Amino acid sequence: MSHIKIMINGMPGNVAAALAAQAMKDERFEIINASLTGPEIVQDRHIVDGKTFSLIHPDERDQAIVQIKNRENDFISVDFTHPTAVNGNAEFYCKNNLYFVMGTTGGDRRQLEQTVLRSGISAVIAPNMAKQIVGFQAMMQYAAENFPGLFSGYCLEIRESHQKGKADTSGTARAMVSYFNKMGVAFSEDQIIKERDPRIQQSVWKIPEAHLSGHAWHTYTLHSEDGTVTFSFTHNINGRDVYAQGTFDAVEFLFQKAKSGLKGRVYTMIDVLKQA
């Protein structure tokens, strides 16, 4: 059985390291022992479950990627780096003809898509890799497109909690804002309530202590003008395993697109789900 080679970028970050640990147990994949990292990282290697990964800093990646491509031939890049690196990394992948799965949130998303559309590769770009949440978002998108104004006059509260190290507001929560807007709710992204304090997460939110360092809790609550009607949608994730499952499905999906030579295409997790 041939394996799909993947290069997981973002180590020693928690998500990238967790993905690497899962990939090493998955017979579909062969993981390259190198990872793009940020300029703030001082170490030059990171160990995951006994496997050593070389950490490639921004000032050395142009030279390093040539060597990796010559050694490994075709592979899929998986990006779970930092929001500030999103656009620069996308340009790097496109310049080097590296098909990639972008799980990192933040950055200029329109520019991100345009970079791929103008390139010689394709990519899967999604603010959330958890398939079940993506399916929930698809349902909300369907409602937004088919029932405009459904919640006109309602007040909305969006609360999201992630581990202390997550720099930006949840990409999933931001995506949901647009759906509620189409359903008639006046709400902006800067109104999202973002929690990153572990003490409050444990004492107020009741997030299990074991998952304070890795979780994604979201609640969307709607109240009618007269206060007689309330709708609430909640999805709470502890740990990171669910993201690995979706990411690996996206890798398989993109690998087939790469084999077909499809270029300049931007796919979402909805596309991945439809072909699962």
Q: Is 60 within a domain? A: yes
**Cα gap 222→62, rounded to integer Å:** 49
Select which of 46, 82, 131, 166 is catalytic: 166
Rg, Å, the chain Cα set: 19
pLDDT of 127 reads: 83
- Domain of residue 189: give its range: 131-238
Same-domain pairing of 68 and 192: no
Give the CATH number for residue 191. 3.30.360.10
Q: Residue 2 pLDDT > 90, yes or no? A: no
Question: 246: alpha, beta or left, given left = phi > 0 and alpha = psi -120 to 50?
Answer: alpha
Provide the pLDDT confidence category of residue 276 given band limits of 50, 70 and 90: low
Q: Is 103 within a domain? A: yes
The answer to whether the peptide bond before residue 39 is cis (omega within 30 degrees of 0) is no
Is 25 part of the annotated catalytic residue set?
no
Same-domain pairing of 8 and 105: yes
pLDDT of 128 reads: 87
**Mean of per-residue pLDDT scores for the chain:** 95
What's the rounded mean pLDDT across residues 156-180?
93
- Give the count of domains, the chain: 2
Is 162 part of the annotated catalytic residue set?
yes
Q: Residue 243 pLDDT > 70, yes or no? A: yes
**Cα gap 237→103, rounded to integer Å:** 16
Instruction: Give, as one character, the DSSP assignment of residue 3.
Output: P
Closest CA to 79 of 6, 137, 29, 130: 6
**Cα gap 98→113, rounded to integer Å:** 15
Q: Quick check: helix, strand or coil at residue 270?
A: helix
Tell me the per-residue pLDDT of 50-103, one tens digit each, with 9 for 90 and over: 999 999 999 999 999 999 999 999 999 999 999 999 999 999 999 999 999 999
What's the rounded mean pLDDT across residues 212-218?
95
Select which of 131, 162, 182, 218 is catalytic: 162
Q: Residue 240 pLDDT > 90, yes or no? A: no
Same-domain pairing of 135 and 222: yes
Same-domain pairing of 78 and 208: no
Are 243 and 261 spatial neighbours (Cβ–Cβ below 8 Å)? no
Same-domain pairing of 118 and 15: yes
Q: Is 49 within a domain? A: yes
